[in-house]
Structure 1
Amino acid sequence: MNLKISGHHLEVTPALREYVITKLDRVLRHFDQVIDGNVVLSVDNIKEKDKRQKVEVNLHLKGKDIFVESCNGDMYAAIDLVVDKLDRQVVRHKDRLQGHAHEAIKHQPVPVPGIEIPPQ
């Protein structure tokens, strides 16, 4: 997986980079068809004393793009929140891909005259 981590009004330290990579490994554990990802870490100064830490993740999967963002006062907490959201969406996408809405015709029982097959 190609992963690009960038900062907006923020220097991405090696500790932040490593934290993001270890957290995103949890997503890759559920779904291995991830092509690439883009993570943007940013700081918005709303007021002098209030700083809002924002994390945006754009993940390009096979057949779908997933975008998730999260804001918090602490960057590490914002990363945790965005990874939780991303994990739920990736698992949901995987379930949709693997979900079989209908049973295949070859697996349906063939009715034979004179013999009753109990429903399963």
Structure 2
Amino acid sequence: MYTLNISGHHVQSGEEVQEVVKEKMDHLARINNQITSIKVILNTEKHEIHQLIVEASVHIPGHDLFATVKTDKQLKPALDLLVAKLEKQLIKHKAKHTGRQHQINANDVESAEERQEQAEFDELVEREVI
């Protein structure tokens, strides 16, 4: 389970907007269940043309992912693009880290007898018998 924080700068983030954002972010949680928090910021830029800027940061243990999308005042397409960007990052991160993890195998664990034999061998080497 993750916490979702939605904030808007110069944008009204009503219940409908929050529901749409939550629905889209739930898709990311299905890809990686280690997500602890997602922060989404909705912003408008009022220079020559009105643009909607949607930013999101996703926190998973040991790493933060970030994506930004600028569109022309359309929330759903912006969220779709944002989720696609974050999805790629999550898949890449997951692939990168699952290859590195060492799975403990029963054959990798040293038994008490093996530790005793190794200690005896080390002692013989130390006394220069072997």
Give the structure-2-normalised TM-score. 0.73
- By how many angstroms is 1:12 displaced? 0.2
CA offset digits 1:82-114 (Å, max 9, x no partner): 111001101111111112599x9x7xxxxxxxx
Task: Report what 2:32 is aligned to.
Answer: 31
Number of equivalent positions: 104
Q: Structure 1 residues 94 and 79, CA, compared in 2 at 3 Å: closer, same or farther?
A: same
Q: Structure 1 residues 43 and 100, CA, compared in 2 at 3 Å: closer, same or farther?
A: same
Q: Secondary structure at the match of 2:45?
A: strand
Does residue 11 of structure 1 match 2:12?
Answer: yes
Task: Report what 1:90 is aligned to.
Answer: 90
Q: List structure 1 segments (4+ residues) > 6 angstroms apart after TM superposition.
A: none
Q: Secondary structure at the match of 1:3?
A: strand
Q: Is the 8 A contact 1:55 1:70 kept in 2?
A: yes
Give the structure-1-normalised TM-score. 0.79
Q: Secondary structure at the match of 1:81?
A: helix
| Structure 1: segments with no counterpart, 5+ residues | 107-120
Query: Which structure dedicates a bigger proportion of its chain to strand?
Result: 1
Q: Is the 8 A contact 1:41 1:53 kept in 2?
A: yes
* Residues 96-115 of structure 1: pairs in structure 2 closer than 5 A: 96-100=96-100
| Structure 2: segments with no counterpart, 5+ residues | 108-130
Q: Secondary structure at the match of 2:36?
A: strand
User: Residue type matched to 1:82 in 2?
Assistant: L
Query: Which structure dedicates a bigger proportion of its chain to helix?
Result: 2
Query: Aligned-residue CA RMSD in angstroms?
Result: 2.1
Task: Report what 2:60 is aligned to.
Answer: 61
CA offset digits 1:33-57 (Å, max 9, x no partner): 011111000111112xx21001000
